[in-house]
Structure 1
Amino acid sequence: MSRSIAILAGLLFALLSIDCCAGYSAHGRPPHPISDAVLARQLVHQSNWAAVGSISHNEKITDFPMVNILAVDDSALNGSSTGRIHFLLADFEFTGADLLHNNKITFFFSEEQTGSCNRRGVNPMEPACPRIMISGRNRKLDPKSPEYNDYMEAFNKRHKHSNIWVEAHHFYLNELEIENIFIVAYQGGPRTISAEEYYSAHL
């Protein structure tokens, strides 16, 4: 009898341990096979905004990390994904002012921006709620370039008031020149995606 109790206790402990660890590994596997690069493109394309980090030039917190929210769009005129992350900046606001002094920026995208992780009962911190951190440098787009009007029109389709931001507050259109992408998604820990892999992925 004592041996049976010991076996039962061992099994119960093992089950409890699995459940405990599963809480962070977050139910572990993607719903269907997908490459990291394709998943990254999906996260970007479904997002209307991103959290961004820059190196602060503000006299109150010089050299500290600064975070902000920026409206983003990666769409072609037909609404398809290009992977090219466009956003508006102004020199007077946090991110625009920081980049004038140190042109390094990181964008953060999470599947929870659509609310889908919460609907599945997954905490945004868990790996089963995929997230990416895209680092690079800002490039201010030339309004005289042939593609500028198309980029701006696509941006306006997602962000209906962006023309007002440009006209009234002197915001200007930019593109992130991607240097590296970190992804945390399901199993395997943080992984990297090159800019080449990201841009060549097809949705």
Structure 2
Amino acid sequence: MAGCARGSARAVLAFLLAPALVALLVAPARGRGGRGHGDWGAAELLPPRENAALVARFVTNVCDWGALATISTQEGVRGRPFADVLSLSDGPPAKGSGVPYFYLSPMQQSVGNLKVSEAEMDVARNSLFIRHPEMKTWPSSHNWFFAKLNITNIWVLDYFGGPKIVTPEEYYNATFQ
């Protein structure tokens, strides 16, 4: 029974996280706390609203943090939605892959069953540590692991008129110029 609940929670998490990714709080493209982890140029141009796939890729690349939403499986609040704000990266500024990676701890309520494959460990590490160098010094006692968001659907809500639906193929084929 617990395995079924865990699998259901994972499915709900994946379902909720994909649209939430596009609803990220966009951090300023310059400044970023003075960490000096990339050159964004003088003024990053926002993609045209008509190109929803490029807007989604742009948001993923400029954001250092995002909201991970899920449905609780904890006693007392089971079935209730909640969200965590997490560090993320899809790679270097203006050169991201579009694949959001996370550096997570099993101590976090919403991420107990997520892991990245061993084959992608170096890509995830490089993507995250270039944008979040402080992660290298986080305490090992928290058992940090890398996780990847497998995108299955995307809703871009960037203006009035409801969301625009973007397929993963459209998303990954959108490129920065």
Shift of 1:37: 0.1
What SS is found at the alignment partner of 1:66?
A: strand
Answer yes or no: is 1:180 the counterpart of 2:160. no
5+ residue gaps, structure 2, are 1-45
Of 31, 50, 56 in structure 1, the residue corresponding to residue 72 of structure 2 is 56
* Residue in structure 2 matching 1:43, options 41, 59, 74: 59
TM-score (norm 2): 0.66
SS in 1 for 2:150: strand
The alpha carbon displacement at 1:185 in A equals: 1.9
Q: CA RMSD in A?
A: 2.3
Distance apart, 1:36 and its partner CA: 0.2
Match of 1:169 in 2: 142
Listed one character per residue, the Cα deviations across residues 85-133 of structure 1 (whole Å, up to 9, x for unaligned) are: 0002222211113xx3xxxxxxxxxxxxxxxxxxxxxxxxxxxxxxxxx
- SS of structure 2 residue aligned to 1:177: coil
In proportion to residue count, which structure has more strand? 1
1:64 and 1:50 map into 2 onto residues whose CA distance is 20
Which residues in structure 2 correspond to 1:48-127 (within 5 Å)? 48-75=64-91, 80-97=95-112, 100=113
For 2:157, the aligned partner's letter is V
Cα deviation per residue 1:17-60 (whole Å; 9 max; x = unaligned)? xxxxxxxxxxxxx8846510001000010000001101111212
Runs of 4+ deviating beyond 6 Å: none
User: Alpha carbons of 1:166 and 1:181: their partners in 2 closer, same or farther (altered >3 Å)?
Assistant: farther
Point out where structure 1 has 5 or more consecutive residues left out of the alignment: 1-29, 101-137
Q: Percent identity?
A: 26
CA contact (8 A) 2:52 2:156 kept: yes
Q: Normalized against structure 1, the TM-score is what? A: 0.58
Q: Is 1:199 aligned with 2:166? A: no
With over 3 angstroms needed to count, the CA separation of the structure-2 counterparts of 1:79 and 1:165, relative to structure 1, is farther
Show the counterpart of 1:142: 117
Structure showing greater Rg? 1
8 Å contact 2:47–2:58 — kept in the other structure?
no
The answer (yes or no) to whether the contact 1:79–1:154 under 8 Å persists in 2 is: no
Contact 1:166 1:172 in 2 (8 A): no
Between the two proteins, the alignment pairs up a number of residues equal to: 131
